[in-house]
Amino acid sequence: MTKLVQLLFEGVSVGCLYALVALGFVAIYRASRVINFAQGSLLLLGAYLISYMVIDKSVPWFLAAAIGVAAMVMVGVLFQVFVLRRVTGQPVFTVVMITIGLNIAITALVPAIFGVNQRPDGTGDPIGTGELTVGGVVFTWVNIWSIIVTAIVLAGFFCFDRFSRYGLATRATSVDEEAALAVGIPVRRVNALSWGLAAGIATIAGIFLTAFPRGLDPTTGDIALAAFPAIIIGGLESPLGAVIGGLTIGIVELLTQGYESNIPALGHNFYTIAPYVVMIAVLLIRPYGLFGQRPVERI
């Protein structure tokens, strides 16, 4: 029983981080109708920036984190301004491939700049290795803070989305870009903002993903691939779906990891593909995810 609770807690914790990454995807999808395959590399770059500042340059952690997140927001905005604006009107596949190209380039650039060595302290070990034990279940502070910070970011995002002018503008743009343009919404600024936001959220997720015991190395960006099932399950344009999808994936992953030895037929490390299997199962029933919407085509 304690094992189950333990797995559930860890699943929720990592699920929260998946939810953050997924939220970044959704923010961009709503703005540009594109899945940003570079999300993982943005996460990676952000984490390395902070790590470099803290470990190599002895910058105080909070300052480094603030600078890192702000810098990555700028990177997101710059990418939208200098690359994506040139390809408006191109088919979705084209833009997706551009983000894939960006992902490959940035992911290779990071070790080129910062070296290939593992950084076991992640972004500077901000939380430490402490933990609480309650009733046989271990709650690491890293996991606890992951959940708390995710909740804060999510709350912030939802407030922004529902109650702010730019949030409304973003929603309007995602429904009908031409109409938004027609009523004077600064669509380009809205899009740039969404990209900046996504990059910033990814960096925050990166901070917790590289904390003890996972560490930071050039493959950390691969986590984004694990977040794909989250956005697909939740539906590409639904922030709520992203959260539910992320949590689902996290829990599925941890539960399968914990119990897969009971079913040897699934193979070693089945938990790495369990999210994808769940995703395919969901899509068979609902081809646009749980909360996604069928695009409307005028005949």
Nearer to other proteins, 107 or 203 (CB): 107
CA 224, CA 202: separation in Å to the nearest integer? 9
Q: How far is the CB of 205 from other proteins (least distance, A)?
A: 19
Contact status, residue 265 vs residue 212, Cβ threshold 8 Å: no
Nearer to other proteins, 14 or 224 (CB): 224
| Residue recorded with tokens 């997140």 | 69
Nearer to other proteins, 139 or 259 (CB): 259
Nearer to other proteins, 165 or 268 (CB): 268
Angstrom distances, CA of residue 69 to CA of 29, 74, 161, 166, 189 = 21, 9, 20, 20, 19
Q: How far is the CB of 192 from other proteins (least distance, A)?
A: 17
Q: How far is the CB of 104 from other proteins (least distance, A)?
A: 4
Which residues would be at the binding site for other proteins (CB under 8 A)?
34-35, 83, 86-87, 90, 92-98, 100-109, 111-112, 115-116, 225, 228-229, 232, 236, 267-270, 272-273, 276-277, 279-280, 283-284, 287-289, 295, 297-299
Nearer to other proteins, 183 or 284 (CB): 284
CA 113, CA 122: separation in Å to the nearest integer? 16
Q: How far is the CB of 184 from other proteins (least distance, A)?
A: 27
Q: How many residues does the chain have?
A: 299
Q: How far is the CB of 249 from other proteins (least distance, A)?
A: 12
Q: Phi and psi at residue 257, in whole multiples of 5°?
A: -60, -40
Nearer to other proteins, 153 or 233 (CB): 233
Distance in Å from the first CA to the final CA of the chain: 56
Q: How far is the CB of 95 from other proteins (least distance, A)?
A: 8
3-state helix, strand, coil in the chain (%, to 5): 75, 5, 25
Ramachandran category for residue 294: left, alpha or beta (phi over 0 → left; psi -120 to 50 → alpha)? beta
